[in-house]
Amino acid sequence: MSAIKIEGKSPISGIVKLSGNKNAILPMIAAAMLCDEEITLCNVPDILDVRSMLEIFAALGGKFEFQNNILSLSAASANTAVIPRELCSKNRTSILYAAPLLVRFGKATVYPPGGDVIGRRRLDGHIYGLKTLGSTLNSEEAYIFEAPNGLHGRELFLDEASVTATEQILMAAVCAEGRTTLYNAACEPHVADLADFLNAMGGRISGHGGNVITIDGVSTLHGCKYTVSGDHIEGGSFLALAAANGGDIKIEGITPRHFWMTRRVFERLGFKMTLTHDTLIFPGGQQPQVKKDFDGQIPCISDGTWPQYPSDMMSCTIVAATQTQGTVLFFEKMFESRIYFVDRLIAMGANAVVCDPHRVVISGISPLHGMTLPSPDIRAGMAMIIAATCAKGESTINNIEVIYRGYENLLSKLTSIGVKCREC
């Protein structure tokens, strides 16, 4: 199957149980290479990106079992520090094996990573972190890291608060000799989740969740059992779907603080919701209207590093904005290609003006009509699904394997809340 057909304008109502955080589990799989004892991870989403990371784990000689969202990993039989080129090309997070392989073998060979084409995604923070901690780098066709004398703690300052660079440094420093202090670290929930997981393995990490992280290196790590937190981006995506359709939805398995900024943004679009200790409640029948700024100006919704609004939420939120009364500017600061999907929304009938690769003005409410659409990346693909659910008539969403990289059991979750959809 490579497409989904969706019949728009169906009543939306129901409960969605969050899957585990995609961006947390991927570095955790790589981190399992840091010890010989068995790791058990619970609430693991069965998505294509997880399967890609497990392919690499097996290619390195590791063993795993994965069923019913429980993943058991053992790196005791790992026997190579070289990741095949074709496996590196499947996703962005293949690069995160560099640090665990350096710790385990004193060397690592990885090839340029793949992933969504949403703009330039620098590796400079990764290179800076690993070299500062004691690795050398030869980078002709592959990235060949070597640390024959081991890794040693240092003070580091990232020039941007990169999520994956922060994760790479955490995995390198956790077993490095001495103390590492990382300044301008990423603060996202999945970064903190990885740090908690490394601590459950015996690491000594503190300050995660803030932008200064301290890592006191330990000589060895041990096995553990750990539960991955719920995926706040998945939750926000289904929130946007309900908002665009005037539906009511309950999203279970949330961490409330992960949705504080999401709530603020949706309030600016005129939507109301309630957060409990583990559930987001979004009532149906709302008549949203964009709230202007205090001085009467058009509001701007922009993304940024945590705790600002996640870039991964921008595409779905833009679709929700087409179904609220008023005008709002979206400013995508982090990736220069993420806004391009709006051209498809315009073809569906959205009243939108793409100002430049980073900014788009949305004026609603815009009646949308069904059409055939691509899935250019994970989040834009989900945004296309949301647009199809609130459009008149039938839509076909192609390249759905792109969306399946990040959303578990997507069709069953969509149908459970009333979306009329099928694979074709």
The tens digit of pLDDT for each residue in 301-345 reads 999 999 999 999 999 999 999 999 999 999 998 877 789 899 999
**Mean pLDDT on 348-374:** 96
Is residue 109 within 8 A of residue 84, CB to CB? The reply is no
Q: What is the pLDDT of residue 120?
A: 46
Q: What is the pLDDT of residue 140?
A: 80
Q: What is the pLDDT of residue 91?
A: 83
* Token pair for 44: 């693991």
Q: Which amino acid is at 32?
A: A
The interaxial angle of helices 260-268 and 314-321, nearest 10 deg, is 30
Catalytic positions are 116
Looking at 226, 245, 274, which one is the last position of a domain? 226
Residue 105: count other Cβ atoms within 10 Å of its Cβ: 19
Residue 173: count other Cβ atoms within 10 Å of its Cβ: 31
Are both 390 and 416 inside the same structural domain? Answer: yes
Are both 371 and 235 inside the same structural domain? Answer: yes
d(CA 148, CA 155): 21
Give 142-164 pLDDT, tens digit per residue. 899 999 999 999 999 999 999 99
Q: What is the pLDDT of residue 328?
A: 98
Is residue 342 within 8 A of residue 368, CB to CB? The reply is no
Is residue 391 within 8 A of residue 345, CB to CB? The reply is no
d(CA 346, CA 354): 10
Q: What is the pLDDT of residue 121?
A: 57
Closest CA to 60 of 26, 92, 84, 89: 84
Give 274-305 pLDDT, tens digit per residue. 999 999 999 999 999 999 999 999 999 999 99
Are both 265 and 342 inside the same structural domain? Answer: yes
**Mean pLDDT on 61-67:** 98
Are both 262 and 186 inside the same structural domain? Answer: no
* CATH number of the CATH domain containing 247: 3.65.10.10
Q: Residue 402 — very low, low, confident or very high, per pLDDT cuts 50/70/90? A: very high
Are both 50 and 66 inside the same structural domain? Answer: yes
Residue with tokens 């409640």: 281
- The total domain count for the chain is 2
d(CA 342, CA 118): 13
Q: Residue 118 — very low, low, confident or very high, per pLDDT cuts 50/70/90? A: very low
Looking at 209, 226, 243, which one is the last position of a domain? 226
Are both 142 and 60 inside the same structural domain? Answer: yes
Looking at 226, 252, 284, which one is the last position of a domain? 226
C-alpha angle 15/18/24, rounded to 5°? 170
Are both 150 and 287 inside the same structural domain? Answer: no
Q: How far apart are the first and last CA of the chain?
A: 6
Are both 325 and 368 inside the same structural domain? Answer: yes
pLDDT at 132 over 70: yes
Are both 199 and 238 inside the same structural domain? Answer: no
Q: Among the listed ranges 106-120, 213-227, 265-279, 383-397, which one has the minimum average pLDDT value?
A: 106-120
* Token pair for 94: 């293949």
d(CA 112, CA 110): 7
Which strand (E) or helix (H) includes residue 13? Answer: strand 13-17
d(CA 149, CA 307): 38
Cross-strand partners of 350: none
Enclosing domain of residue 45: 22-226
Is residue 111 within 8 A of residue 88, CB to CB? The reply is yes
pLDDT at 1 over 80: no
Share above pLDDT 90 across residues of the chain, in percent, rounded to a whole number:
92
**Mean pLDDT on 66-77:** 98
- Strand ranges for 75-154 from DSSP E: 107-110, 136-139, 143-146
pLDDT at 119 over 90: no
* Token pair for 15: 């409960």
Are both 299 and 175 inside the same structural domain? Answer: no
Residue with tokens 């996202």: 188
- Starting at the earlier edge strand, list the strands of the sheet with 351-356: 300-302, 326-331, 359-364, 351-356
* Token pair for 30: 């790589």
Rg of the chain in Å (alpha carbons)? 22
Residue 241: count other Cβ atoms within 10 Å of its Cβ: 28
Residue 372: count other Cβ atoms within 10 Å of its Cβ: 14
* Token pair for 274: 């309630």
Closest CA to 90 of 69, 110, 75: 110
Are both 182 and 277 inside the same structural domain? Answer: no
| Long-range contacts at 290-294 (CB < 8 A, ≥ 24 apart) | 290/321, 290/324, 290/325, 290/326, 290/327, 290/328, 290/364, 291/267, 291/326, 292/326
Q: DSSP of 233-301, one letter per residue?
A: HHHHHHHHHHHHHT-EEEEES--GGGGHHHHHHHHHTT---EE-SSEEEE-SS---BPPPPTTSPPPEE
Residue 264: count other Cβ atoms within 10 Å of its Cβ: 11
Tell how strand 39-42 and strand 3-7 pair up: unpaired
Give 215-234 pLDDT, tens digit per residue. 999 999 999 999 999 999 99
Sign of torsion over alpha carbons 371, 359, 114, 237: negative
Are both 195 and 277 inside the same structural domain? Answer: no
Q: What is the pLDDT of residue 117?
A: 41
C-alpha angle 75/80/81, rounded to 5°? 95
